[in-house]
Amino acid sequence: MSVNMDKWCEIAKSNMVKRPQGEGRLAGKITIVTGAAQGFGKGIAEELYKEGASVVIADMNEPLAKEVAASLGDRAIAIAVNVSDEESVANMVAQTVEKFGGLDIMLSNAGVVRSGPIAQMERKDFDFVTNVNYTGFFLCAKYAAMIMQAEHEADKNAMFDIITLNSKSGLEGSNKNFAYAGSKFGGIGLTQSFALELCEYNIKVNAICPGNYLDGPLWMDPEKGLFVQYLKAGKVEGAKTVADVRKYYESKVPMNRGCLPLDIARAVVYCVEQEYETGQAIPVTGGQVMLN
């Protein structure tokens, strides 16, 4: 590991006394959003920026991440990261401290899907999903916690948040989509366990479980999108076209629409403002999935 985390922890700690203030519900909050070059991450990052946060647009797709950061303004920067690579995650957190002075909110959003029947799922695809969704969340939480624990030493009243974009597939099984659902169920186990450990440092850890973002690129991409993947996998009985698959998913939502980034950004703001909630998995699904 070539990143000297001790050094960045010391810098973050010493900066706690001179944190910038500003306007908005998240004024002065230094925030990393992984996977923020497109989709949910991008939309959420835009909303958090509007609320006054300083935002790191962290993504594997560096050119797109730079475009998003530039479109926001001078409280946003782009950082290239692969969340399944430990050195890369350490580097992302170090660069965030270098640029903004510390870290208040880690939003572990980057995620991938490979679906299909069990007999046809290749080991490499299963590992890919697990490495990004499950191990990636662990790595982001690990390096965020190091900085936040150091910051806590300097300011015992400050509150911090580690939030993971989980899924309704982390709350109930998903037919022919087990690699994804398994990684998301695991993410909730990590959330609860991190929450218990990090409570004493005022670090809250919560998972937000969105319904389907049917208008987002994860679903709509004409080659790799879920509509196409699910059609090929025969996940929706009788579906002959992508439109059939979409109609099926829309009909499953009591509120009759897909989830949008603003719906999720509101849940993120709730988690940050709420000082008496940790270890939760919060469904934002238009009534499609309800907690028992």
Which residues participate in catalysis according to the annotation?
Answer: 180
Distance between CA 4 and CA 17 in Å, rounded? 22
**Residue 179 and residue 123 in contact, taking contact as beta carbons nearer than 8 Å:** no
Q: Are residues 201 and 137 in contact, defined by beta-carbon separation less than 8 angstroms?
A: no
Q: Could you tell me which stretch among 17-25, 78-86, 96-104, 239-247 binds ligand NAD (CB under 6 A)?
A: 78-86
Q: Indicate whether 286 belongs to the interface with ligand NAD (CB under 6 A).
A: no
Helix (H, G, I), strand (E, B) or coil at 84: coil
Nearer to ligand NAD by Cβ, of 110 and 267: the residue is 110
Minimum CB–partner distance for residue 263 and ligand NAD (Å): 11
Nearer to ligand NAD, 10 or 221 (CB): 221
User: Which residue of 78, 190, 218, 260 would you call a contact of ligand NAD, by CB under 6 A?
Assistant: 218
CA diameter of the chain: 61
Name the 3-class secondary structure at 93: helix
DSSP assignments along 57-79, one per residue: EEES-HHHHHHHHHHH-TTEEEE
Q: Which is nearer to ligand NAD, 41 or 101 (CB)?
A: 41
Residue 110, interface with ligand NAD (CB under 6 A)?
A: yes
Establish if 187 lies at the interface with ligand NAD (CB under 6 A).
no
Among candidate residues 187, 174, 171, 185, the one with its CA nearest the CA of residue 291: 171
Is residue 165 at the binding interface for ligand NAD, with CB under 6 A as the rule? yes
Total site size for ligand NAD, rule CB under 6 A = 29
User: Between residues 159 and 260, which has the closer beta carbon with respect to ligand NAD?
Assistant: 260
Residue recorded with tokens 């015992």? 156
Of the candidates 138, 112, 114, which has an alpha carbon nearest to the alpha carbon of residue 124? Answer: 114
Residue 253 is a binding residue for ligand NAD (CB under 6 A) = no
Is 149 a binding residue for ligand NAD by CB under 6 A? The answer is: no
Per CB under 6 A, 81 contacts ligand NAD: yes
For ligand NAD, the binding residue among 10, 14, 24, 61 (CB under 6 A) is: 61
Strands laid side by side in the 281-284 sheet = 76-80, 54-59, 30-34, 105-108, 160-165, 203-210, 281-284
Contact residues: ligand NAD, CB under 6 A: 34-35, 37-41, 59-61, 81-84, 109-112, 132, 136, 165, 167, 210, 212-213, 216-219
